[in-house]
Structure 1
């Protein structure tokens, strides 16, 4: 059997295969941060895709932590109830585990939707607010500087991550991922390019990692024992003097010691001066570098679009699972086609069994909804 279609465990959570639907912001929540019909149909599509797990989009732990005014949130119980109602429906049609990426955008918050320009929305605008960060350094020149969080505000932030984690469990998610990548708030504390603090949260690597580790610990204490919590990192900033692969390895080792379920390896997003040459597998070497130093699963991403390409990453030992984002939006049945190309079998909804092409007589078998 191809490695891509072998089972994998994230802590106690077992997945049927190693295809992970990575978080993709949809900018389709209402102004209160609540899920909409768009999320219902989108998650339903993911649930029938055949992937091993879906991690839904970055979901804010505070209102000011949203990237845009149309982001999902889990800072109150009403948001959690709305998500729960969708996940309850999804469990009637698919056993796929759903996870949530909990996040705070920091200085990259208060923006317009991408298809409307993604510009920062001014503080005095109806859809704008004051952003926050490790230091009062804006993401781009000309933007409103963020407010540098005080020590008391940092403690409130940590508590809000923990409360959001509790709500995630109540809503019915099977796993939580902490968003410490792509230039958002936790990444802003990690990188010396955005963190110029002179207290216990700035300066040395130990200090810059402190917020990430304290958030992780608070979330572990907030969820049931054994509940899986993973972390997504940007392995490097792609800017000289920024967060590095070596620092990512150190952080990953600390997270493993504390009980992380996996490390999900991306890169960049912190600084507009980054220079990235996009090509297939361009981020896989970062996952491979971290995997050499940890024993927990590592998820690789980065223009992985073809089944054979994904399988080769696993066969080479560069990662333990593959995260797909845009490729899944373009082809919502990517796992089906991957199974066909790699001569594997895949569990699907029994209603779809009749669509099996004649040349693939044993491609599909029906999944058991009651098994989840």
Structure 2
């Protein structure tokens, strides 16, 4: 039986009411993301078309991926001169931003596959994009099936596949090479998967950094971290009469404590590479007072059964703050690429740069 127009109208109204809270949340998120982008590109701002584009991105990607992609696109594309931000670079940033956001959601291996594909596409007169992608994916799958770790696969793609792609003269040569490699791998005896294949400390295969490299690397990471801190401080403006200086001091203690913790934990691994622990940052965050700082400062409305935030904007700022705090620590979480001695040196120099920063 067909529905009447009034029945359909009622159904739509009910649906809207059911999703009203989500719609309000998305509107708040959209407003904050647009403000965040406009803050970065001041004195310029998004056009109506640009704002519509942001709304479309919010429908497609999680917020943390959006923020990471925006930051990465800004860092890689925006330039400054003596007069400030260069308008042409802002236009490039906004044009490339969606691609950066999309890439942020990919695994490191997937990113490397696309990077190698880009090299081949630009080098060869003829290139079959779909077939080339499949060949690379099949090659990686063959390595995975033989028990290779993500780190081993990335190293192989970097040192073998990427290098040979740059040397190959044409599509046919490259295609035959990768098909041959994949076939060889598929005939390997499957690697045994035991706990011994997943060491907590990885064999040191990286060259030791020079003092200049350590200083440059640490300074770059601290500058990146300060950018994230400034975003966090901007979010705090959602709180009326917020004591910014006290919060800054809490943040300083928070960062220094994380550096000190790493130095203590890495003390016994001077000749080894420290393996990445995805829970390391989370466990530190959960044990810190600053993790819930904004929640404690939030006004509350006491209902019959629960306690609710009195402002959705403050609540969203609190949620974002947790994500940004994690990103702040990730800027100075030194693992995998460095041996213990370099980690210790990087942490010392990072602490020095951070303590000298004015923000």
More strand by share: 1
The question of a shared fold, defined as TM-score above 0.5 by the shorter chain, is answered with no
More helix by share: 2
TM range (shorter): under 0.3
Structure number with larger C-alpha Rg: 2
TM-score of the pair, normalised by structure 2: 0.23
